Every structure is written in C-alpha cells, then in structure tokens.
Structure 1
C-alpha cells in the first residue's frame, strides 16, 4: 500500500539529489513511493539513482519545462493519497513524513501541511509557513531568524513553502484547472503561493507542524546560498527568470485577489512595485524591455 507519493524535481545536481533521497529512505514512515522528474534529462543521473535506489521512478522532464510543469508531471504519475513535493536541495529529518501526516488529521478540510524548514546549518529558520503580505507577495514566517523555539506551536497558516510541501491529493484534484495542479504558465516562483491561495478560496486549510523538520539550501539547486527571495539576490537571477518573477506575481494577484482586497491593499502594492522597478532599472534594465515585449502574449 502506498499512501504517500514523494515527488522531487531536479536539475541534475547530484550531490543534492543523493542527500535528499538518502533522507527519504531513512524515514520512519515506510508507505511511500518516490518519483524523480529530471529536468536536466541526463541519462547518467537516472542510472546512478536507480543503482542506489532501485524503487525510485525517474522520468525525464518535458522539453523546456520548468518547476511547475515538472511537478504536474510527477503528480499525474503518482498513486498516493498524500503528495510530498520536494526541492532536490532538501534533507528530511527521519520523522518528517510521519509527523507531517498528523497535520491532515486535525480537520478533514486540511489540504496542505508545512513542517519547520531550516537552513542547512540547522540553526536558522527558512520557513514555518507561507503568509500573504500586504503587498501581495509570499511572506515566509521566520525567514532568516535564529531557531530559538519561537515557532513550536502548530497551527493554521495561509499556505506552504514549495521546497517541502505536503498536499492532500483530493485537494489537488479539486483545484486543478486547464493549467494543471500548479499553474504551468509559471516558469519559476509564486507557484506555491498561487496554489495555496486557490486552495484557500475553495475552502481548504493549511496547517503547520513544528515537529516535521527539514533542512533546505535555499536556491541550492539553482545557485547555492543565493537567498533568492531577497531583493538584493535578484541580481543572481537571469533576465528571463527575473522577468518571470515579476510576471508570476502579477498573474497570482490577477487570478486570486478580490476586487475589494486589491483596493484595500493598493497602496502597499504600489509601493512594492515602485521599489521593485527601481531595482530593475538600476541592476537589470534588460528585464524592463523583456517584460513589456512579453506583456501581451497569451497568458490566460
């Protein structure tokens, strides 16, 4: 019996994926399957993984696919009642799956569960759940703070961080639309907030379990220790990815925000946008041209 499907998307970073898989196969909860979507499509990686872990199913990602599309591919292949989506630069504590599953039993309409995600040093918080900021970005609770026991109480949150996100399959099927479980139009960034927001609008709840602990090299599978959520780190993004970051935020707002909510938060939204575009103007001016050249392409 398989009640958990673990889906890992990798860009072929062998050191990360090997450590991630090792932590999965040390779990105290044993009823799981593991699906790896290899967006680098390197046959050598698949062979190496299957040599160490014969039960892991490795599939090449679709041509030119990004994170959201790869996750959709994995979810479509999954058999589990619960879906754990992982970045390849995440290491799970041995009780992570067992502890996280307990969150789904709190209420029948809990469709998303997050554990406590730490940085690789084990001392710094990466995320204890997603919240929606006034400027309509994903706010990672506890981000960058020392882990001093301040988030040891479980409770309801807005959504879950995509680095180590647990979903109820029933919820995913309900919120799925023509663009997939995750919005396949999103190249990278905001796909976790968008899905969390869509689920919330359908009446599904998200819950935080502090005893489900994972360690994450933020941006490790992209650029080690980049901290890509922070404004200064946007200089590490290519023009294409930075443009996608801007586009996906706007698309998330357009898809999910109510008319009243938009005008209630209009001032902080405008302030954030002003700062973001000034940053782009000085550090990545090519993003401006790219953004407006793509503005009227079909996105809906």
Structure 2
C-alpha cells in the first residue's frame, strides 16, 4: 500500500526520462509509486524504462500503454483511477515527463498538504529548465477576460519565496489530495477529457475553488521544467487546443455576474486570439472557435453540475492581458 502516487503522461518524451527518473529516485521521500501513462505510438519510453529500471517495473513504476494519444487530460485520469485502486492512496502528484525535481520536491509538497485539511492542491516552484534564472510557473492566474496565465512566468527566480494561497495549480508539477479530486469528480472524470490538452488545469483549479478547496503555493518544493519539451511552444496543435479550451473554460466556469460585467473584455479577447493567429498564419484558430461553440450545450450541461460552495471565487481573478513574455499566455 502506498500513500503517494506520481502520475506522468508521456508522449515521445524518451529524451527527458533519464533526468526525470534519476531525480525522482533521489528524493528524500521515497514512499511513492510512479504511474507512467504512455500516449506514444512507439515503444521507446518503455524500452528505456525496461533497460534502466527493470527491477522497479511493476514494483515502483506502473507502466500503462494507451493504444493512441489520449491527450493529457484522459491519460492523467487513467493514472489517477489506477492510483485510487489503492485505498491507501492519499496524494496524487501530477508531474510532466520533461521535469527534473530537486531532492526535497516530494517531501516539501506533502508537508505543505498536511498543514490544512481544506488544502486541495499544492503547487511547486517551477523553474524554466533552459533558463534557470527565470520562473516557469508558481501557479495559475485566471483573468476576468477569460485568459489563463502561468503565475510568475518569466520573472526572476529569486522572487516568489513565500508560502501563500493561490487560485490553483499548474498540473506540470503539483499535488492534489485524493479527497479533493473525489469531491469534484464528474462523470467518472477528474480532469475534463473534452479538453484533451491545455487549460485543463485551469478548469480543475476553478472547480476545486468552487467546491471550497484551497490551493497553496509551496516555494520549497522545486522543479526544473524544460518548457515545450514534448508538446512544442507554438504549433497548430497548441493554437487549436489553447484557443478552443479558452472558450470552453469561461463557458463552463466563469460566474454569470463576472461574465456579464466583463462581456466586452471576453469578446475582445476572443477576437484578439483570432486576429493574432491569422496574422501568424495559423488559421486553425477558426476551427478552434467553431468547435468550441459547437459544443456550447455540452459545456452548459457540465456547468450545471459544478459544485458551487465558494461564492467569492471572483475575488481571486485578476485583470491581465499578457505576462512579461507573450509566450507564456495560454491562449495566444
């Protein structure tokens, strides 16, 4: 029986696995198992694990091979469900495959999670691997115009050193309590599988807040994220899913009063995404928006089933159009 499970979806990420596994097996806290959910169409990641960690396979590494690329949301759900088969599981740690973790990463996350029973998620300090003088993410920000941001992205690594409450976690490196995930589960899903990839962590952050769960930033839990390692930073894939899921998120989650007060900002943000991506020669943004509104009623049905205990969630929203670098905005 194991208390902590690390869930890592993989898609052609074999080049990152040496650093990923070596950092995890050097942790000061070792009472964990890794559920490695492989979306790749090759066997390279499995071959690497089998060659380098044969004694840990089925013991500390649970390998799951998907028949096709299910995307981040569904692959992570598969891992979560497997973890929850163990009644001793208390903590689910989401961790990207292009991560290198400092040795106290897990120990500090769990310490923080234990401080308050209403803490539903805990965010690590994510440093940009390629440029370690800069922050990658210290949580999620959600703007009144519907745009989602990585909090602290591209700011100096020396700052954000205080433990504090945040809106929610970037799922690249964070912990969710089992009880919190079970509380917001809908239709046997934790992350919304309609999102496939991008904004799914903003969606789950909002749902946890609505349900009354707090999210805490833990600055002593540190990882290095090699941004764009397996998904790219600007591609048609990125543009499509970011653009579509931006719309899904505000349709599904934005409080009605917030939406009405800021309708002009939301419309402007929608139009700006289309214009910017057309200028970038990414016409796939048009399909993204078409598909988003084509699923309007599906999002409305999900909206009705969100548990809404926290009536003051709008107080956690910001008004922001871009971070220090436009590359870290999740919808443009």
TM-score (normalised: structure 1):
0.90
Q: How does 1:236-247 map to 2 (within 5 A)?
A: 236-238=234-236, 240-247=237-244
Displacement after TM superposition at 1:138 (Å): 2.0
The one of 200, 203, 211 equivalent to 2:212 is 203
CA distance in 2, matches of 1:113, 1:70: 21
The one of 186, 191, 198 equivalent to 1:189 is 198
Could you say which residue in structure 1 is the equivalent of 2:227?
218
Q: List alignment gaps of at least 5 residues for structure 1.
A: 227-235
Indicate whether 1:269 and 2:279 are aligned.
no
The one of 146, 159, 169 equivalent to 2:156 is 146
The one of 123, 140, 144 equivalent to 1:130 is 140
CA distance in 2, matches of 1:265, 1:197: 18
> Bigger CA drift: 123-132 or 25-34?
123-132
The one of 162, 172, 175 equivalent to 1:166 is 175
CA 1:291–1:116: 2 relative to 1, 3 Å: closer
Could you say which residue in structure 2 is the equivalent of 1:39?
39
| Partner SS state of residue 180, structure 1 | coil
Indicate whether 1:49 and 2:55 are aligned.
no
- The alignment covers a number of residue pairs equal to 287
CA distance in 2, matches of 1:83, 1:131: 22
The one of 65, 68, 80 equivalent to 1:60 is 65
8 Å CA contact retained: 2:239, 2:282? no
Displacement after TM superposition at 1:293 (Å): 5.3
Displacement after TM superposition at 1:281 (Å): 2.2
Displacement after TM superposition at 1:109 (Å): 0.8
Could you say which residue in structure 1 is the equivalent of 2:102?
93
| Partner SS state of residue 160, structure 1 | coil
Displacement after TM superposition at 1:253 (Å): 0.9
CA distance in 1, matches of 2:289, 2:171: 28
CA 1:262–1:179: 2 relative to 1, 3 Å: farther
CA 1:41–1:279: 2 relative to 1, 3 Å: same
8 Å CA contact retained: 2:40, 2:69? no
CA 1:68–1:62: 2 relative to 1, 3 Å: farther
Displacement after TM superposition at 1:243 (Å): 2.2
Displacement after TM superposition at 1:112 (Å): 0.4
| Partner SS state of residue 195, structure 1 | helix
Q: List alignment gaps of at least 5 residues for structure 2.
A: 300-332
Which string of whole-angstrom CA distances, capped at 9 and with x for unpartnered residues, describes residues 36-74 of structure 1?
011104334213203322231111124241110100011
CA distance in 1, matches of 2:289, 2:222: 41
Root-mean-square deviation over aligned CA pairs? 1.8
CA distance in 1, matches of 2:62, 2:51: 12
Q: How does 1:241-256 map to 2 (within 5 A)?
A: 241-256=238-253
CA 1:179–1:250: 2 relative to 1, 3 Å: farther
Indicate whether 1:15 and 2:15 are aligned.
yes
CA distance in 2, matches of 1:213, 1:45: 25
CA distance in 2, matches of 1:41, 1:2: 30
8 Å CA contact retained: 1:179, 1:185? no
Runs in 1 of length 4+ with deviation above 4 angstroms? 297-300
Which string of whole-angstrom CA distances, capped at 9 and with x for unpartnered residues, describes residues 87-110 of structure 1?
111111000000011111221110
The one of 251, 260, 269 equivalent to 2:257 is 260
TM-score (normalised: structure 2):
0.81
Displacement after TM superposition at 1:264 (Å): 2.4
Displacement after TM superposition at 1:145 (Å): 1.1
Could you say which residue in structure 2 is the equivalent of 1:232?
none
CA distance in 1, matches of 2:65, 2:228: 21
